Amino acid sequence: MSKSNVLFLCTANSTRSQMAEALLRKHAGEYYEALSAGMEPMVVHPLAVQAMIEVGIDISGRRSKSVKEYLGRIALGHVIFVCARAEKNCPYLSSPLIPESWPFEDPTACHGTEEECLEKFRMVRDQIEGRVRAWLVVRQ
């Protein structure tokens, strides 16, 4: 049985979509091929790496990817936007799929101390994990 491809999209593919990809792999990697991409790819944020390591997932070797790397090249079973800006500005989707919207706060917008910002990354990570788990329950 082949796995259904799930593409998580955000603006930079540096935090939220990376976390969602990794968390789906952790919880249901045997059933879904988790992918992530962005409209304007940047490097994976170091605080995202740190927040994920704290829950036993290492995303330090991941790279940010453009949505253009996937569209028209693979069959997508699910497209999930994890940020409102990307959803609003994505001109690329011409798929018959109806994308899902899971807008999470952008932790990279934090302007506090490093510890305060790390706490924001943890909060968003935990929200994403809760949403991934709930999404999987509906599909069982």
CA 47/CA 114 separation, integer angstroms: 9
Q: Please report the pLDDT score of residue 91 as a whole number.
A: 66
Number of folded domains that form the chain: 1
- 43 Cβ contact list (under 8 Å, min separation 6): 14, 63, 64
- Is 83 one of the annotated active-site residues of the chain? yes
Q: Of these residues, 10, 117, 118, 132, which one is catalytic?
A: 10
The closest of 73, 95, 140 to 81, measured between CA atoms, is 95
Residue ranges for the chain with pLDDT beneath 50: none
Containing structural domain, residue 80? 4-138
- Going by C-alpha positions, the residue among 134, 104, 133 that lies closest to residue 121 is 104
Is-catalytic flag, 90? Answer: yes
Q: Which of 52, 83, 86, 124 is catalytic?
A: 83
Q: How far apart are CA 18 and CA 60, in angstroms?
A: 10
Determine which one of 57, 71, 84, 90 is catalytic: 90
pTM, two decimals, is 0.94
Q: For position 15, which CATH number holds?
A: 3.40.50.2300
4 and 33 Cβ atoms separated by less than 8 Å? yes
pLDDT, position 140:
73
The yes-or-no answer on residue 10 being catalytic is: yes
